[in-house]
Structure 1
Amino acid sequence: MGTQIRAQAEMDSGLLPVSAPDQAGIESIHPRLRLHPQFHSQFLPSDRDVTVYLPPGYDESPQRAYPVLYLHDGQNLFDPRTSFVPCRTWRVAETADAVIGAGEVEPLIIVGIANAGEQRINEYTPTRDWRMGGGDAQRYGDLLAGDLLPFIADNYRVLDGPQHTGLGGSSLGGLVTLYLGLRHPGVFGRLAVMSPSVWWNHKSIVAYVNERGPEIVNKPRIWLDVGDAEGHRTLADAQLLERKLEANGWRLESDLHFERVHGGTHDEAAWAERVGPMLKFLFRG
């Protein structure tokens, strides 16, 4: 395993939260965050915290329903107490407030799904690698579509249909986003594929794009990005993925945007910088 891949694999192993969040604590970070601790699914054994961001005006507009973006690695999105790197988050709530307030993005609900710590690699990978294991992404997708989406719809005012439902993540979270978006295009119609771990299991995701792409009539809109300081192999893999998506019917700047970020690195601070542009492409105001 190469040095760059090994470093990503170590990051992808996941960490348990450094402190247990609570509703009062999460509201002190942002007043429109709602915490659902230890969400339980029938499909996977590990419970996980779910954090919901509500857009400006949600309480003041009780008749309005909103699109939803589901993001993996929820520990890293909002709360500096639980992030992979302490005190360094994606700043999702602050950024969403800014771009919604500027009229650049339609108001939306954002749901952060905490990873399952030691089970992160298993749940975020679509195939089993003979060295590293994994391969439970299909069951994780069942958790999302079968348990979490109905739970959110029961508790919040959401718009239905793939055109109003997004999925996103980085690294292995980017990998599982693309896999589940291609597997369930009738559920997830907007995908944020950030610094994806294309390398997993001999780049099996590329073969999956070639397999599923031609079958999908209504292509999910995809934001794909990579930093040019993430390593030569990571950059080359993302460029390969972009070419394969185009070859299978995605159209640049229509339903596909590829962002090569100058100086972009493989960490929370870098992904935080990409949240605004990603939201603008997937959920234009």
Structure 2
Amino acid sequence: MEDCSIDEDFFKNKSWNEIKKQIPDPYWHEPYDTKKQYWEATISKIKLKERYKDITRIPNLTVTYGKIDRVKNFQSNYVDSRNIDVWLPPNYNDSERYAVLYMHDGQMLFDSTRTWNNQEWKVDETIARLIFDGKIRNTIVVGVWNNGAYRHSEYFPQKPINYLDRELKDNLIKTDLKGKQQADNYLKFLVEELKPYIDKNYSTHTNMQNTFIAGSSMGGLISMYAISEYPDVYGGAACISTHWVGDVNVKGDKVPLAFNQYLINNLPEPKNHKFYFDYGTVGLDSLYKPYQTKIDKTMNKKGYTIKNWITKEFKGDDHSEASWSRRLYIPLEFLLANNNN
């Protein structure tokens, strides 16, 4: 309620008995006995942020290399607001231009002490080392926090759903997506709102050749979708442990086949784009190989070669940040190879 004001006329020339009947919030709980008590309490609640500043303050992330700029509750006309963590490499300065890597599930990237499972991608350690060794170009990372309960709703590619039969489509939207298809709006948020903000506030290369997108599991799906829907914006996508099954509760291969058909119809021109796919062999990742094999055939038929497409299997790796962090350097070296721009 910060920046609110009091309607003083509400308190003037009225008795407490009249005011008591009009208290707008019955859940404030304090037993007000006089008009003066209610006035003071209302003033106090308008300064709510000041009263609870020690509780509402978000702890800073701890990174080993570089620094994090947090944009709290980035507002959007397309999706719910969320935090954005912008990682800047050591010695970042405005006299140089930087490639930009957008990563989904941004709250899982940098600091295991702030994540739900005490794991992280080790993004700052990996990218800082690769930059220092000259293996990748200067790069900043934009960590886009997911939307919690509506993560699937935002990350499940929207257009492939249209390849499903009506009953399966309706059931998928109702259950897995909780009644909302938000992937197209999520991409509009990234492209029309977030990217302009990043390019305005940081020293970036704004072209497609220096703009990349990456994620794991559902984040792999939405990365594939992003580069296919916006080939003029993204030059490469890292789709790690890509969740081709879409919804594990849907039996059969109808959903993976829908993704494959979408790619057949929408893959961007291979000459100017790069794709990286991978999967492990343990746990949820053990489901992916047969579907990735079909995707690989499609990539090959569409003209992708080892110059612009890699698929890798990692035996013994499971579906976790611990596994993804160990192999993160591979897609980064492939997508962000230091070509002196």
Q: Fold-level match, TM-score > 0.5?
A: yes
Cα pair distance change 1:206/1:33, threshold 3 Å: same
State the partner residue of 2:217.
Answer: 171
Out of 290, 302, 311, the residue aligned to residue 236 of structure 1 is 290
The one of 179, 182, 199 equivalent to 2:245 is 199
Superposed displacement of residue 111, structure 1: 0.7
2:135 is matched with which residue: 104, 110, 113? 104
2:317 paired residue among 250, 253, 264: 264
Give the superposition deviation at 1:218: 4.2
- Superposition deviation, residue 55 in structure 1: 1.8
Residue in 2 that maps onto 1:159 = 205
Q: 1:116 aligns with which of 147, 154, 163?
A: 147
- Give how far 1:57 is off: 2.1
State whether structure 2 residue 235 is matched by structure 1 residue 189. yes
* Structure with the larger RCO, 1 or 2 (CA within 8 Å, 6+ apart): 1
Give distance in 2, aligned partners of 1:273 and 1:141: 28
Residues 209 and 103 (structure 1 numbering): CA distance in 2 closer, same or farther, change over 3 Å? same
The residue type paired with residue 200 of structure 2 is D
Moved more, 226-235 or 95-104: 226-235
Aligned to 1:227: 280
Tell me whether 1:64 sits opposite 2:96 in the alignment: yes
Query: 1:76 is matched with which residue: 101, 108, 118?
Result: 108
**d(CA) in 2 for partners of 1:56 and 1:100?**
10
Query: Which residue among 85, 88, 99 is the counterpart of 1:51?
Result: 85
The question of 1:273 aligning with 2:304 is answered no
Offset of residue 239 of structure 1: 2.2
The Cα of 1:56 is off from its aligned counterpart by 2.4
Q: Whole-Å Cα distance in 1 between the matches of residues 140 and 65 of structure 2?
A: 14
In the comparison of the two structures, how many residue pairs are matched?
A: 260
Q: Deviations over 1:57-96 (max 9, x none)?
A: 213xx3111110000000110122432412x100100111
d(CA) in 1 for partners of 2:176 and 2:72?
A: 28
User: Structure 2-normalised TM-score?
Assistant: 0.72
Q: Which one-letter code corresponds to 1:267 in the other structure?
A: S
Alignment of 1:32-47 (within 5 A): 32-44=67-79, 46-47=80-81
Q: 1:122 to 1:103 in 2, by over 3 A?
A: same
* Structure 1 position 249 matched with structure 2 position 303: yes
Percent of aligned positions with the same letter in both sequences?
A: 27
Unaligned runs of 5+ in 1: 1-18
**1:21, 1:180 → 2: CA distance?**
33
| More off after superposition, 229-238 vs 259-268 | 229-238
Aligned to 2:226: 180
Question: Given that residues 270 and 304 in structure 2 are in contact (C-alpha distance below 8 angstroms), is that contact kept between their aligned partners in structure 1?
Answer: no
| Letter paired with 2:71 | H
Counterparts of 1:182 and 1:52, CA distance in 2? 24
Distance 1:138 1:28 in 2: 32
Q: CA deviation digits over 1:128-167, x for unaligned, max 9?
A: 5423343321110000001000010111000011110000
- 2:66, 2:210 → 1: CA distance? 24
Contact 2:66 2:90 in 1 (8 A): no
Rate the CA distance shift 1:29–1:184 in 2: closer, same or farther, 3 A: same
Q: How big is the shift at 1:31?
A: 4.6
8 Å Cα contact 2:221-2:242 kept in structure 1: yes
Aligned to 1:6: none
Distance 1:228 1:212 in 2: 28
Matched, 1:209 2:263: yes
Checking the alignment, whether the CA contact within 8 Å between 1:27 and 1:34 is kept in structure 2 is no
> 1:14-71 CA deviation, whole Å, 9 max, x = no partner?
xxxxx9774x622566551111111111111x11111111122213xx3111110000
RMSD: 2.0
- Where does residue 13 of structure 1 map in the other structure? none
Query: Which has the greater radius of gyration?
Result: 2
Distance 1:31 1:187 in 2: 26
Q: Residue type matched to 1:37 in 2?
A: K
